C-alpha cells in the first residue's frame, strides 16, 4: 500500500484525459462522476484509465493542485508593488475571475465535495492554500479601512467570506441557459456592486 507507484509520466494522452475528466467533474461534481463515464468520454474502457492514473482521486488531485497554484500565483502578483488597496482588490477580483474560468472543474469539486476532500490527508494542501487566500484578502481590506478608503465599520472577515463565494458564482453560469454576459461585463458589474452598491449617488 505504501509502495511508490508510478508517479506521473506527463504524456500528451494523459493531459487530454484530465481535461475530459475535468469537464465531467465540472458538470456533475467529483463523487457523482464515475470512472466509466470518464472512460466513455475518452472512447476507452474504464480499466484502461488505470494505465494512466493509479486512482480516480489522483485525477482530482492533479486538477485541484493546478487550480490552487494558479490562483495563489495570481494573488501574489496582484498585490505585489501595489500600495492602493482598492487597486489591489480590483486586480485580485480580475485575477480570480480569470483563474476560475480556466479551472471551472476545480471550483465545482471544491464546493460540492469539500468535505470529502478536506477530510483526507492527501488533500491537506487545500486548507493551507485557503488560509493564504483568506489572509491576502483580509490584509487588503484592512489596509483600505485604515487609510479611510473603505467604511470603518466594515467586518473584513465577513466581507472576505462573502466576496470569495461571490466570485465563484459566475463560473457556474458558463454553460447555463439563454443570454449570457461576457466575462468583462460580469466582472465590471461585480466591482461596481462591491465598491458602490446599487443606490444612485
Summarize as ranges the residues that interact with a second copy (CB under 8 A). Answer: 27-29, 31-32, 86, 111-113, 115-116, 141, 144, 148-152, 154-155, 157-159, 161-162, 165-166, 169-170, 172-173, 179, 181, 185-186, 189-190, 192-201
Nearer to DNA, 6 or 131 (CB): 6
Asked if 13 interacts with DNA (CB under 7 A), we say yes
**Alpha-carbon distance values, 139 to 126, 136, 155 (Å):** 20, 5, 12
The CB-side HSE value for 113 (13 A sphere, CA atoms) comes to 22
Q: In terms of Cα–Cα distance, which of 158, 162, 160 is closest to 85?
A: 160
- In the complex, the smallest distance separating the C-beta of residue 5 from a second copy, rounded to whole angstroms, is 27
Sign for the CA dihedral angle at 173, 175, 181, 186 comes to positive
Query: What angle (nearest 5°) sits at the alpha carbon of residue 148, between those of residues 162 and 135?
Result: 40
- In the complex, the smallest distance separating the C-beta of residue 109 from DNA, rounded to whole angstroms, is 13
Q: Is the distance from CB of 36 to CB of 46 less than 8 angstroms?
A: yes
Helices 56-79/85-102 angle, 10° precision: 160
Query: What angle (nearest 5°) sits at the alpha carbon of residue 159, between those of residues 154 and 164?
Result: 160
Distance in angstroms (rounded) separating the CA atoms of residues 71 and 166 = 16
20 contact choice in a second copy, DNA, none (CB below 5 to 8 Å, kind-dependent): none
111 contact choice in a second copy, DNA, none (CB below 5 to 8 Å, kind-dependent): a second copy
Among 3, 12, 80, 182, binds DNA (CB under 7 A): 12
x-or-dash pattern for DNA, window 39-58, by CB under 7 A? Answer: x--xxxxxxx-xxx-xxxx-
125 contact choice in a second copy, DNA, none (CB below 5 to 8 Å, kind-dependent): none
- In the complex, the smallest distance separating the C-beta of residue 114 from a second copy, rounded to whole angstroms, is 9
> Using CB under 7 A as the criterion, which residues of the chain lie in contact with DNA when the complex forms?
9, 11-14, 33-37, 39, 42-48, 50-52, 54-57
Amino acid at each position: 500500500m505504501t509502495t511508490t507507484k508510478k508517479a506521473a509520466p506527463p504524456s500528451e494522452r494523459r493531459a487530454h484525459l484530465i481535461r475530459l475528466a475535468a469537464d465531467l467533474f465540472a458538470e456533475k461534481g467529483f463523487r457523482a462522476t464515475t470512472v466509466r463515464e470518464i472512460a466513455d468520454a475518452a472512447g476507452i474502457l474504464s480499466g484502461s484509465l488505470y494505465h494512466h492514473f493509479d486512482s480516480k482521486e489522483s485525477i482530482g488531485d492533479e486538477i485541484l493542485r493546478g487550480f490552487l497554484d494558479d490562483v495563489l500565483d495570481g494573488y501574489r502578483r496582484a498585490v505585489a508593488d501595489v500600495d492602493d488597496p482598492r487597486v489591489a482588490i480590483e486586480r485580485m477580483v480580475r485575477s480570480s475571475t480569470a483563474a476560475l474560468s480556466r479551472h471551472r472543474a476545480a471550483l465545482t469539486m471544491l464546493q460540492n465535495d469539500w468535505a470529502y476532500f478536506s477530510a483526507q490527508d492527501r488533500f491537506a494542501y487545500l486548507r493551507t492554500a485557503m488560509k493564504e487566500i483568506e489572509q491576502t484578502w483580509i490584509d487588503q481590506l484592512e489596509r483600505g479601512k485604515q487609510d479611510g478608503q473603505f467604511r470603518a465599520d466594515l467586518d473584513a472577515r465577513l466581507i472576505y467570506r462573502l466576496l470569495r463565494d461571490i466570485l465563484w458564482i459566475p463560473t457556474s453560469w458558463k454553460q447555463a441557459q439563454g443570454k449570457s454576459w461576457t466575462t468583462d461585463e460580469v466582472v465590471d458589474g461585480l466591482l461596481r456592486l462591491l465598491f458602490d452598491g446599487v443606490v444612485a449617488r
